[in-house]
Amino acid sequence: MSYTRTAQYAGRRQQSWGRNQNTTRFVSPVKLGPVMHTIIVALMILVLGLIYLTQASGSAAYDYQASEIDQKINELATKKADLEVENARLSALETVRNSDVAKAMTQPQSTQYVR
Amino acid sequence: MFSIPRHITRSQLLAILLTGAMVLIVFRLFYLQIIQHEYYVALATDEQVKRLEIPANRGMIYAMDGDNPVPLVMNQQVYTLFADPTVVDEPKKVDEAVRSVAGGNLVVEDVLSKITDKSSQYKVLAKNVTLRQAELIKEKKLKGIGFQRVSQRVYPEGEMAAQTLGFVNYEGKGQYGVEQELNDRLTGKDGLLKSVTDVANVPLSIGKDNIREEPVDGDSVVLTIDRNIQAKAQETLLAGLQRSGATHGSVLVMDPNNGDVLALADFPTYNPSDFTTVTDEKVFRNVATTEPYEPGSVLKTFTIAAGLDRNAIEPDSTFYNTDSIQVNDRTITNALKGVTGTVTMQTALDNSLNTGMVTIAQRLGDGKEITRGARDTMYDYFHNRLGLGERTGVQIANEQPGILISPDDVQGNAVRYSNMAFGQGLDVTMMQVAAGFSAIVNGGTYYSPTVVAGHMDGSQLVREQHAKEKKGVISAEASAQAKEMIHQARTGYTSTDLPGYYVGGKTGTSQTLQDGEYISTQTVGTYLGFGGDDSQSKYVIMVQVSGENMNLEGNKHAMPIFTDLSNWLLGYYQLQPRA
């Protein structure tokens, strides 16, 4: 099967090679054997493991923060409940009755009704 | 002796040994990880995963203050302060700190000797220490001091409505009153936290089977009890008992137009926060619902209502009173003698004539005898229509039904029913009587009494409809007539009511039974009445006073308590007197 490039297309490719591409194949002088490959794979696994551990410990750190916030919420809820109890005690009938304001009150002499 | 074949090199031998060791390890790992998988997973889960219970808050209990709910029972987190003397290194500092911060909460007198006595590692020094106090002590960083958190019920109003509320025991269960009756509703549902935790029990999110179920707090219940009326009822009851010398008393205030119980006061009483100091269990009981008794002449209002509704009598119907009346082999006499001759039913009620009530019972039959038909009619009114002798369903624990003998029973004979006509020969609770009486004075609708107005949704009261109503238990006309007769019965007796209001009531003095016989050395005084303006009765009050070996009377000892409370209620409801 024959394949023919158009003149226009061939001209552009040649122009591009000339400007952006190496026209020769690069061959590294360093050769990696099977041992080196194994070490690299092991290192990659190690790095991935470290990344996982970092993430996991990071999430545990959030757990501690959440736990501290929960504790704070509990403390505040307890304080709120204490204040509500104190408020109820201060507005209890017995407390009100024994207050200076209540003691200073007098019975009305007469009552007028609006009809 | 084992010898190595010559054709196997040392390196081959090493390889074989290593392979063998590897095979052993693989088998061991297979055993541990595959065969024993479930066992070790369970072991690890037990170690790492904690199940923490998140306690639900018990619902609070509110009373009404006019139209606003106010707390009667609340929850508070408090701490028990303890010391481990084997760890305490600065006893004097501990003593000083504990005394200065929590001196009022100490449960031991000599703190210093307690914390230097190393015979025990757990010494409780103070109880009910607040969070603030605990924080102040913690700031001092004292060694050997610890806190144990507990939730407790607190009662800002002290003894108020103690027998209606009940209390919560050390197991967290409601005892007596509303606390027991509505225990399930108040308790709520504990939550659950199942999670992997660290050594400090901090939940971590790394587990795959973590569960967090939020607790559901118990309902905060709002009672129909009005704290102002309750406080006044307790105050007037106490004052009345001091005047009379009676040792026991109860007051029940009810709204006759819907069955709401506005106050339930009992004496002797107690503070629910100190329930452990109570030595007599009877003090815990709500007398109005748990102790049926013979109420005496206050039940004449029921007989009058039945007679009027059946057109057996009119207020001015007459009968011939000879101060005694024969029923089968028994002669029934009046307590008050001398009002003889032809008298009206109004006079019979005014003077509490037993003969008049027996006459009504007879007229419910053939007019001469308390026939089976008359007894069936009385039972229908007393039990079926006005609720005597059965539990009312009010939400207070241990409510008793009392005893109302049916005409079907062999004991439900004419003599029994002649006694019932004036309030003897039956055992009923104050709650039953007040609810039935409410129907008599409200136009003829029976409302089953309730102490629950609703529940709180945040800070809003959500009203609940608990009361069952039975309309037309007596006709509106009979109700109006009965009410007027009861009004006349009171106004003819006393002039202590505020002028311009419509107040009525009936006394009751009942003998007590001892070993099946009535004794003359001990009577219970009762008063039952209503009050309001001309248009409507706003309240029904029932008062009971008693004492061992004391003859207490309805008019002398119970009625003044009614009068004091009634006059105060007229002002409290801001009712205008007629001009």
- The ipTM is 0.78
Q: How far is CA B152 from CA A46, B69, B75, in A?
A: 55, 21, 6
Tokens (6 digits) for B241: 């008992």
C-alpha to C-alpha distance for B303 and B424, rounded to whole angstroms: 12
- Contact (CB<8Å) A92/B579: no
C-alpha to C-alpha distance for B107 and B125, rounded to whole angstroms: 6
Which helix (H) or strand (E) element contains residue B128? strand B123-129
* Amino acid identity for residue B435 in this structure: A
* Amino acid identity for residue A51 in this structure: I
* C-alpha closest to that of B154 among B39, B95, B75, B239: B75
Tokens (6 digits) for B156: 């800002």
Determine the average pLDDT of the residues in B267-289: 95
* C-alpha closest to that of B83 among B112, B62, B58, B56: B112
Peptide bond into B268 cis (omega under 30): yes
- Contact (CB<8Å) A75/B227: no
pLDDT grade, residue A2 (50/70/90)? very low
Predicted local confidence at residue B550, as pLDDT: 94
pLDDT grade, residue A97 (50/70/90)? confident
Tokens (6 digits) for B178: 């509303």
Residue A63 has its nearest CB partner, among B77, B203, B227, at B203
- Chain centroid, CA B295 distance in Å: 22
Calculate Rg over the CA atoms of chain B. Answer: 35
> Mean pLDDT lowest for which of B12-21, B188-197, B341-350?
B188-197
Contact B488, B557 (CB under 8 A): no
- Contact (CB<8Å) A82/B203: no
CB contacts of A80 in chain B (<8 Å) are: none
Is residue B54 within 8 angstroms of chain A, CB to CB? Answer: no
C-alpha to C-alpha distance for B564 and B240, rounded to whole angstroms: 9
Determine the average pLDDT of the residues in A39-68: 89
Report residue B36: phi and psi, to 5°.
Answer: -95, 20
Min Cα–Cα distance to chain A from B202, Å: 7
Is residue B393 within 8 angstroms of chain A, CB to CB? Answer: no
Predicted local confidence at residue A18, as pLDDT: 54
**Helices in B31-168 by DSSP H: which ranges?**
37-48, 91-102, 111-116, 131-139, 162-165
What mean pLDDT, rounded, does chain B reach?
Answer: 93
Q: What is the DSSP code (8-state) at residue B103?
A: G
Asked if pLDDT for residue B376 goes beyond 50, the answer is yes
Residue of B nearest to A90 (CA): B156
Contact B430, B382 (CB under 8 A): no
Model pLDDT for residues B351-368, shown as the tens digit of each residue: 999 999 999 999 999 999
Asked if pLDDT for residue A7 goes beyond 70, the answer is no
Strand partners, B145: B83
Contact B425, B416 (CB under 8 A): yes
CB atoms within 10 A of CB B134: 22
Which helix (H) or strand (E) element contains residue B239? helix B227-244
C-alpha to C-alpha distance for B429 and B134, rounded to whole angstroms: 48
Min Cα–Cα distance to chain B from A83, Å: 10
C-alpha to C-alpha distance for B300 and B293, rounded to whole angstroms: 15
Report residue B454: phi and psi, to 5°.
Answer: 170, -155
Predicted local confidence at residue A11, as pLDDT: 52
Contact B87, B98 (CB under 8 A): no
What is the bridge-based pairing of β-strands B61-65 and B221-226? parallel
* Beta carbons within 8 Å of B357's beta carbon, 6+ residues apart: B300, B303, B304, B348, B421, B422
Determine the average pLDDT of the residues in B331-342: 94
pLDDT grade, residue B519 (50/70/90)? confident
> What's the residue count for chain B?
579
* C-alpha closest to that of B479 among B517, B514, B446: B446
Calculate Rg over the CA atoms of chain A. Answer: 43
Contact B378, B402 (CB under 8 A): no
- Contact (CB<8Å) A88/B70: yes
Residue B76 has its nearest CB partner, among A67, A82, A93, at A82
Residue of B nearest to A76 (CA): B131
Residue A88 has its nearest CB partner, among B74, B77, B577, at B74
Which helix (H) or strand (E) element contains residue B530? strand B517-532
Which helix (H) or strand (E) element contains residue B71? strand B68-83
Model pLDDT for residues B401-451, shown as the tens digit of each residue: 999 999 999 999 999 999 999 999 999 999 999 999 999 999 999 999 999
Angle at the Cα of B126 from the Cα atoms of B123 and B130, rounded to 5 degrees: 135
CB contacts of B202 in chain A (<8 Å) are: 63-64, 67
Angle at the Cα of B515 from the Cα atoms of B512 and B520, rounded to 5 degrees: 35
The residue among B467 and B370 whose pLDDT is bigger is: B370
Query: Residue B439 in 3-state DSSP?
Result: helix
Quote the crossing angle between the two packed helices B300-309 and B354-363, to the nearest 10°. 30
Q: Which of B54, B57, B58, B77 is the best substitution to test chain A (most A C-beta atoms within 10 A)?
A: B77
Sign of CA dihedral B513, B517, B518, B520: negative
> Mean pLDDT lowest for which of B123-132, B243-252, B290-299, B417-426?
B123-132
- Contact (CB<8Å) A93/B160: yes
* Beta carbons within 8 Å of B1's beta carbon, 6+ residues apart: none
> Mean pLDDT lowest for which of A8-22, B39-53, B74-88, B234-248?
A8-22
Contact B253, B63 (CB under 8 A): no
Provide the b/e sequence for B332-352 (b: ≥16 CB within 10 Å): bebeeeebeeebbbbbbbbbb
C-alpha to C-alpha distance for B477 and B164, rounded to whole angstroms: 35
Q: What is the DSSP code (8-state) at residue B282?
A: G
CB contacts of B75 in chain A (<8 Å) are: 81
- Chain centroid, CA B517 distance in Å: 32
In order of start, what are the domains of chain B with their CATH numbers? Answer: 54-156+183-218 (3.30.70.2110), 225-572 (3.40.710.10)
Contact B107, B126 (CB under 8 A): yes
CB atoms within 10 A of CB B448: 17
